Amino acid sequence: MIHQLIFAHPKPGMSEKEFQDYWVNVHAVQYASKIPQIKKYLIDTRIPFGPEPEDPMWSGIAEIWLENEEEQLASLQTPEFLEGARLDEPKWAAFWRTVVLDTDAHVLRAGDHPAPPEGVKLVLLAKRAAGTTVQEFRDRSLGAHAEHVLQVPGLRRYLQCFTRDGFYAVGEALLDAAYLLSFDSVEALETAAASAEFTKALDDLNTFVEPRYIHRMAVREHWVIGNENS
């Protein structure tokens, strides 16, 4: 199963709230959800957390599940995509700031899913350190690093999503992984982020990734299609 992550930013002149409202209530319902190959689909909308950048890199993430590469290619050839979702995207998204990652997801803690109404998720994006192979990065991430993260208080669900091998076929992938850490509330996330365990996990992450390429964003989930464990 392909777990695709699409990071998007509002088009010029559109506020973050307008962008998120349109994505969740119009684009997702009227266009993207109509693509028949999509098995599951949710939208993560950014929420304030920690120091606020003047212009956040992204204001939301689409998470899309597709069965395989053949289904993914077929989805891009459907009228629902070509005449619907694709044509609608410029109305609300700055396409030149969109980043797409096709990933293989590893569930390190299943937890209850979907999130409770007040649930939030911390998304961390990472690029491996220079001189580290993709396999070495994945092994370290799934092994010693995961052990640190699993000690973080209040962590309800934890996924490591690795960029699929095809992204390396013709060069270097932009990013190597997205870490998805779910909590029951903003307060639970704040408590976790202030904990010694979280600091230890982040310190460990910095030893095998390029720290300047770590991006983080707190989000709320909005399920459009499906909500089972993935």
pLDDT digit string, tens, across residues 83-130: 999 999 999 999 999 999 999 999 999 987 667 789 999 999 999 999
The token duo for 169 is 């076929």
pLDDT score recorded for residue 53: 85
pLDDT in tens, 14-28: 999 999 999 999 999
- Nearest 5°: phi and psi at 59? -115, 0
Report whether 120 contacts 70 (CB < 8 A): no
pLDDT score recorded for residue 228: 57
**Domains by residue range for the chain, with CATH:** 2-225 (3.30.70.100)
| DSSP label of 97 | G
Give me the helices (H) in 81-182, please.
86-88, 134-140, 146-149
